[in-house]
């Protein structure tokens, strides 16, 4: 009897131990990992990749086969794309890395169905690739890949409904499901396929995600700023969230550009000047020294602010500084800011009756590939000054 009892006990303990050992760690439910991941995300978005990797080093060492590390590699490449959308040289590597992350997550889900980390990896990887294709205006491909991310997220809502990152996708879904049929009335007849929407609830979910999510926290802030600026027409709230991104990630030039564009869209020219001057006074903190694309664009917008205020000499100096930096950047002929800086350099020169200089800048603007309206006007003005 003792032998039988001992054998039964051994078998029971053996079979109970196997699933525990075989299971892959669920990092998303680990509070300690969550805190480290938040710090790492902040470092990544502040363009401090090495420091972000150091923050997660122990976790990567302990769980080297977890698919989240491939996703992280893809997110690092994503920022290379986002910082310079004119440069497509990173697209292939990005797509392949995110495909690999999706594949690894799928393998984990095959072995351990509904593993929440794997669902997050699939949702994030496919959503980022879909966003890249939308930036490239490949809408069909974007929708097809985005659907995979959406399906993974829908399953995640059932498996782990308490995750704060779910609020980001929920907010996007609720807001746009209400906004689209309200704004594009011709789509009401087919809006039955959209989930129930509510703009206020969507914004509330995004606000909660902007405060509490792990991976989606910065993206929630970005989408709130974008929605308030372009859809809700609430400039103050748009400024708040774009400024929040600048303050949280001072070395991220992309967010500085977005904030300056927002101020320009709202005709806040004095604030544009102040923001530019503050950025230049804190060049180390702002990271602008190593980011010529941001520096060239900020000089352009600073020139526009001076131009609007009637300080044409100072405006011309700013436009020329923008062009000087821009000439050293690859694909300058495809950059809208470069075209616009040349065009307004011509306008400022013409106002100051320096027609020779104006013609040179108009010729430069007309030879560009971006900003077609400015190019055409530059060509017209150049001919008028002959």
From first to last of the 386 residues of the chain, give the pLDDT tens digit.
444 444 443 333 333 433 444 478 999 999 999 999 999 999 999 999 999 999 999 999 999 999 999 999 999 999 999 999 999 999 999 999 999 999 999 999 999 999 999 999 999 999 999 999 999 989 889 888 988 988 998 899 999 999 988 999 889 888 988 887 777 664 454 444 456 788 999 999 999 999 999 889 999 999 999 999 999 999 999 999 999 999 999 999 999 999 999 999 999 999 999 999 999 988 777 777 778 999 999 999 999 999 999 999 999 999 999 999 999 999 888 999 999 999 999 999 999 999 999 999 999 999 999 999 999 999 999 988 87
In this prediction, residue 147 carries a pLDDT of 87
Residue 114 pLDDT: 94
What pLDDT, on the 0 to 100 scale, is given for residue 366? Answer: 94
Cα dist. 206→157, 201, 284, 293, 361 in Å? 16, 9, 32, 30, 44
Say what the pLDDT of residue 194 is: 55
* Structure confidence at residue 336 (pLDDT): 94
CA 237 remoteness from chain centre: 18
pLDDT at 264: 97
Q: What is the pLDDT of residue 20?
A: 42
pLDDT at 3: 42
Q: Which residues, 6+ apart, have CB-to-CB distance to 34 below 8 Å?
A: 28, 214
CATH class of the domain whose range is 250-386: mainly alpha
Alpha helices in the chain (DSSP H): 2-22, 31-45, 49-55, 57-62, 68-83, 91-111, 116-135, 139-159, 166-183, 199-212, 217-230, 235-248, 253-265, 269-281, 283-286, 292-308, 312-326, 336-351, 355-366, 372-384
């Amino acid at each position: 009897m003792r032998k039988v009892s001992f054998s039964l006990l051994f078998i029971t303990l053996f079979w109970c131990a196997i699933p525990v050992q075989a299971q892959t760690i669920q990092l998303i439910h680990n509070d300690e990992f969550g805190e480290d991941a938040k710090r790492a995300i902040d470092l990544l978005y502040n363009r401090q990749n090495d420091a972000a990797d150091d923050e997660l080093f122990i976790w990567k060492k302990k769980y080297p086969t977890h698919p989240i590390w491939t996703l992280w590699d893809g997110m690092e490449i994503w920022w290379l794309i986002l910082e310079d959308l004119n440069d497509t040289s990173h697209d292939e590597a990005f797509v392949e890395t995110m495909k690999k992350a999706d594949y690894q997550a799928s393998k984990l889900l095959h072995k351990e169905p509904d593993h929440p980390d794997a669902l997050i990896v699939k949702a994030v990887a496919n959503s980022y690739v879909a966003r890249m294709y939308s930036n490239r205006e490949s809408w069909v491909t974007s929708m097809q890949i985005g659907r995979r991310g959406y399906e993974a997220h829908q399953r995640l809502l059932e498996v782990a409904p308490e995750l704060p990152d779910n609020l980001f996708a929920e907010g996007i879904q609720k807001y746009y499901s209400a906004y689209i049929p309200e704004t594009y009335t011709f789509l009401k007849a087919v809006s039955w396929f959209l989930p129930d929407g509510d703009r206020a609830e969507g914004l509330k979910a995004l606000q909660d995600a902007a405060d509490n999510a792990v991976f989606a926290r910065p993206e929630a802030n970005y989408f709130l700023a974008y929605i308030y600026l372009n859809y809700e027409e609430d400039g103050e709230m748009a400024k708040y969230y774009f400024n929040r991104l600048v303050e949280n990630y001072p070395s991220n030039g992309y967010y500085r550009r977005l904030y300056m564009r927002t101020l320009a869209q709202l005709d806040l020219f004095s604030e544009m000047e102040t923001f530019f001057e503050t950025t230049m006074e804190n060049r180390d903190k702002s990271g602008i020294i190593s980011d010529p694309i941001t520096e060239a664009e900020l000089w352009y917008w600073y020139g526009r602010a001076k131009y609007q205020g009637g300080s044409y000499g100072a405006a011309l100096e700013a436009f020329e500084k923008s062009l000087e930096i821009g000439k050293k950047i690859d694909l300058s002929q495809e950059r809208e800011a470069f075209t616009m800086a040349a065009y307004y350099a011509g306008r400022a020169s013409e106002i100051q009756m320096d027609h020779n200089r104006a013609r040179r800048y108009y010729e430069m603007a007309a030879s560009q590939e971006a900003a077609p309206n400015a190019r055409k006007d530059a060509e017209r003005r150049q001919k008028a000054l002959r």
